[in-house]
Chain A
Amino acid sequence: MSIELWASILAGAIVLATPLVIAGLGEGFVERAGRLNLGIEGMMILGAFVAVFVASFAGLVAGLVAAMLTGLVLAALMNLVVYRLGANEIVVGLAITMLGLGLSTYLYQLWVPAGQTNVSVPTAPKLDLGILTDIPLIGPALFGQSPLVYGALVLAIAAWAVFRFTRFGLQVRAVGADPTSAALRGVRPRQIGAQTLLIGGALAGLAGSVITLGSIGAFSPDITAGRGYIVLAIVIMGRMTPVGIAIGALLFGFLQSFSLLAQSTAIQLPSELYQTFPYAITLIVLVLTSRAALRRHLGRHVRSKPGRTQSLTPA
Chain B
Amino acid sequence: MSGRVRGWMLAGSVVVAVLVVATVLILLAGADPLTGLQGLIAGVSSSPYRVGELLVGAVPIAIVALTLIPALRAGVFSVGAEGQVIFGAIFATAATLGTAGLFGEGVPAPVYWVIGMVSGALGGAAFALLPAWLAERWHVNIILSTLLLNYIAAGFLGWTLRTWLASDENTATPQSPQLPEASALPDLIPGTRAHIGVLLIIVVAVLFEWWRRTSQATRIGVFAERPRLALRLGTTRARTLYGTMLVSGAGAGVVGWLQVAGVNERLFNSVSGGVGFSGLAVALLGALLPGGILLAALFFSALTAGALGIQSATGTVPSSIADVIKGVLLLGVAAVAGVTARSGAARPAAAPPLTDVASVAPDGEPTPAAASVSAGTEERS
Contacts and interface: CB of A to CB of B under 8 A. Distances in A.
A167 to B, nearest CB: 13
Given A107-B28, A110-B318, 14 more contacts: A34-B370, A81-B331, A87-B337, A92-B331, A95-B334, A98-B327, A105-B320, A173-B380, A221-B320, A272-B158, A272-B162, A273-B159, A279-B155, A287-B140
A289 B232 CA distance: 31
Nearest to A163: B380
B152 A276 contact: yes
B378 to A, nearest CB: 9
Contacts of B370: 34
Contacts of B366: 297
A283 B148 contact: yes
Interface in B259-292: 277, 280-281, 284
A232 interface: yes
A211 interface: no
B372 A296 contact: yes
Contacts of B338: 81-82, 85-88
A301 B371 CA distance: 10
B155 A102 contact: no
Contacts of B351: 88
A91 B148 contact: no
A61 interface: no
Name A's interface SS.
helix
8 contacts: A94-B280, A96-B327, A100-B327, A102-B324, A221-B320, A229-B148, A240-B372, A287-B140
Contacts of B330: 91, 94-95, 98
A275 interface: yes
Interface in A34-89: 34, 38, 42, 77, 81-82, 85-89
Given A286-B140, A290-B139, A290-B141, A34 B337 contact: no
Instruction: Say which size band chain A's interface belongs to.
Output: 35 or more
Given A110-B28, A232-B144, A283-B149, A105 B334 contact: no
Nearest to B155: A276
Interface string B8-21: 00000000000000
B29 interface: yes
Nearest to A241: B376
A159 interface: no
B324 A103 contact: yes
Interface of A: 31-32, 34, 38, 42, 77, 81-82, 85-92, 94-103, 105-107, 109-110, 113-114, 163-164, 170, 173-174, 176-178, 221, 226, 229, 232-233, 236, 239-241, 270, 272-273, 275-276, 279-280, 282-283, 286-287, 290-291, 293-294, 296-297, 300-301
B380 A164 contact: yes
Contact of A88 (B79, B327, B339, B354): B354
A229 B141 CA distance: 12
B162 A270 contact: yes
Q: Which residue among A77, A233, A273 has the maximum number of chain B CB atoms within 10 Å of its CB?
A: A233
Contacts of B147: 226, 229
Nearest to B322: A102
B337 A273 contact: no
Interface in B112-136: 134
A236 B381 contact: no
A293 B141 CA distance: 12
Contact of A173 (B163, B325, B381): B381
B197 interface: no
Contacts of B35: none
B181 interface: no
Contacts of B323: 98, 101-102, 105-106
Contact of A300 (B139, B341, B371, B376): B371
Interface in B154-174: 154-156, 158-159, 162-163
Nearest to A277: B155
Contact of B373 (A86, A107, A240): A240
B356 interface: yes
A275 B155 contact: yes
A34 B373 contact: yes
